Amino acid sequence: MEFPSKSTQAQGSRIGGVLRIWGQGCEMKSLFKAVSLLSCGLAYLASPAFPQASAQEAPVHGLAMHGAPALPPEAPHLPYADPEAVKGGSIVYGLTGSFDSVQPFIIRGSSPFWVIRDLAFESLLTRNHDEPFTLYGLLAESVETPEDRSWALFTIREEARFSDGSPVTPEDVIFSMEVLRDQGRPNYGSSYRKVSSVEKVGERGVRFVFGEGDRELPLILGLMPILSKADWEGKDFSVSTIRPALGSGPYVISQVDPGASLTFRRNPDYWGRDLPINRGLHNFDEVKYLYFRDSNALWEAFTSGLVTFRHEQSAERWAQGYDFPAFRSGAVERGEVVHGRPTGMRGLVFNTRRPLFQDRRVREAVSLALDFEWLNRTLYYGAYARIQSYFGNSALGCDSGPADEAERALLAPYLGELPEGALEAACAQPVSDGSGRDRTRLRRAAALLREAGWVSQGGVLKNAAGEPFAFEILTSGVEEERVAGAFAQALKSLGIQMRARTVDAAQMAARKNDYDYDMVFNFWALSLSPGNEQTLYWGSAGREIPGTRNYMGVASPGVDAMIQALLEARDRAPFEAAARALDRLLTANQYVVPLWWEPTDKLAWRKGMRRPEKDPLYGYRPEVWWSEAP
């Protein structure tokens, strides 16, 4: 990717500043004193009063969370994009549910957020999905930041335009920050409130200054959507609307049918179509999203040809359901894309705010009752693999082996939070005999419960006060009900009563927000570059503060320290060690009964669609596909 160098401009700016300082701090009575002036100026340049530029303060074409960007400035395209991809044709996706707004940046109304954000709006920088977390210039041609990342200066490309042809300016960037911070979704405000000041620099520069150094914040700001200030003049940003806002992205919204469909048309005058970072992307002339009342209606639309592309989420359907006429005739094709994403954590979450689940031994015993091997074979045709730890399937996971020297050093002050032997082995979930009633595991579970003060009385497990071991799990949808039913049967053999309560989406959201449950299903999707969001997921403050994603109620000094170490790491090796240590603490303390993950993205499409030979580290990316014969 070719980004014009701004080094000369930056140096000129610094020299200009020095000349002004010279005029103030060095007495010059005649032109013949020039040599003295130069000496004075050079002395000032070397003095502590003049801020010395580090290597990172020069404008660069890309910014990595750790280390250096993998792609050089002259890279011709992203490694997983095909610059020869055919332009044209259309693609139709299907979604369940509905929408009543195309204002995606506020919480009011129901809007297809990522659909609109990815196709119609752009940010200063953009991701390479073949690296853990590295950004390259998009609207911005370069970025500058010091070693401590206490500020960031973005220089906007001169050719950057909104879809109406108006230029993208520093004023638009500043407006975007202010309106998103004050009226946008909460995640925008939480990031932008860390900015202590923002200013326009020259004709095309915007500098953000932070209250303190934050290695992730320049990247987060680089990914924020940029809006047109003029487009919102005289309009209420906080109100949901079906008026498409003005963006700079490769597509514009061409048709809105609330609740039914949303259609995008590729902008033939898109300003960034020839950028190296965009070569081979955004290939369809039309992208349409159709909405259906439920998953069965969506499936029928796909099999009949109304929907032309499907990311399959059901292992059962993948194994048994693709026996319909279009697939048998070859009109529908399918395949799998291997990914390198962490497994994340999908499972049954103990609420440790409840006295019943505050003892780790109790949580381990309950976990042992779940026979994943039986569940996977019986309900899912053996299609899934079990999650071993939160960051499994990556260098960040403690499932790779015993704790190494760096991890042990981080965990040394917090060994009291780990069970015996936790450092000596890889994180792993116990494997059953697959019978659905593994007696060895059930005996181990019963022993743990006795240690914790629970005894069986007439087939019912009770504590010293005579209270039965009984709890409720919240479910939402048929899939969760099936798992909960199987789990309840297994727990009966230990004398434990688990009741399942099915609630609608609104009730589920409210009760999770208030931590009003004994146990609940949840999935945390985790990236290869975990950052500030980890505090929201596992930080101790979330045990009491409602609205976080600390659904299990973790309150651990060790976890807090590992998150801090992760955020402060400047190189990849200590970052990975901190992530593994965090993973080990979370996994060993049995906050969740882990369920399944899929090592591949399962895709099906109408014949004639193609993708590049190389798949990115993060797996399936829709923007690189094209139609062979549009």
* More reliable by pLDDT, 134 or 48: 134
Mean pLDDT of 585-595: 98
Consecutive H or E run containing 526: none
- pLDDT recorded at residue 242: 95
Could you identify the residue written with the tokens 């003295």? 36
Mean pLDDT of 425-446: 94
Mean pLDDT of 174-202: 95
For the chain, the average pLDDT equals 90
Q: If one looks up domain 56-82+103-232 in CATH, what number appears? A: 3.40.190.10
Residues 484-500 have pLDDT tens digits of 999 999 999 999 999 99
Mean pLDDT of 206-221: 91
Mean pLDDT of 132-160: 96
Instruction: Give residue 19's identity as a one-letter amino acid code.
Output: L
Scored b (16 or more CB within 10 A) or e, 400-421 reads beebeeebeebbeebeebbeee
φ, ψ (nearest 5 deg) of residue 151? -155, 165
The DSSP string of 72-114 is -TT--S-TT--TTPPP--EEEEEEES--S---TTSSSS---HH
Angle formed by the axes of helices 7-25 and 34-46, nearest 10°: 110
Q: Where are the beta strands (DSSP E) in 486-625?
A: 497-502, 519-524, 592-594, 596-597, 600-606, 609-610
Please give the model's pTM, rounded to 2 decimal places.
Answer: 0.83
Minimum mean pLDDT among 122-131, 257-266, 315-324: which range?
Answer: 315-324
Could you identify the residue written with the tokens 């879809």? 163
Q: Which fold has domain 345-597?
A: Dipeptide-binding Protein; domain 3 (3.10.105)
Residue 496 and residue 468: Cα distance in Å, rounded?
A: 8
Same topology for domains 251-341+599-627 and 345-597, yes or no?
Answer: no
φ, ψ (nearest 5 deg) of residue 531? -145, -130
Residues 281-338 have pLDDT tens digits of 999 999 999 999 988 999 999 999 999 999 998 888 998 899 999 999 999 999 999 9
Of 345, 277, 339, give the one whose Cα is nearest residue 530. Answer: 345
Question: Domain 251-341+599-627 in CATH: superfamily?
Answer: Periplasmic binding protein-like II (3.40.190.10)
The percentage of the chain sitting over the pLDDT mark of 90, rounded to a whole number, equals: 82
Q: Give the 3-state secondary structure of residue 535.
A: helix
Sign of CA dihedral 507, 512, 517, 518: positive
Residue 481 and residue 604: Cα distance in Å, rounded?
A: 27
Residues 453-510 have pLDDT tens digits of 999 999 999 999 999 999 999 999 888 999 999 999 999 999 999 999 999 888 998 9
Residue 567 and residue 219: Cα distance in Å, rounded?
A: 13
- pLDDT recorded at residue 107: 87
- pLDDT recorded at residue 630: 62
Scored b (16 or more CB within 10 A) or e, 10-28 reads beeeeeeeeeebbeeebee
Domain map of the chain by residue range? 7-52, 56-82+103-232, 251-341+599-627, 345-597
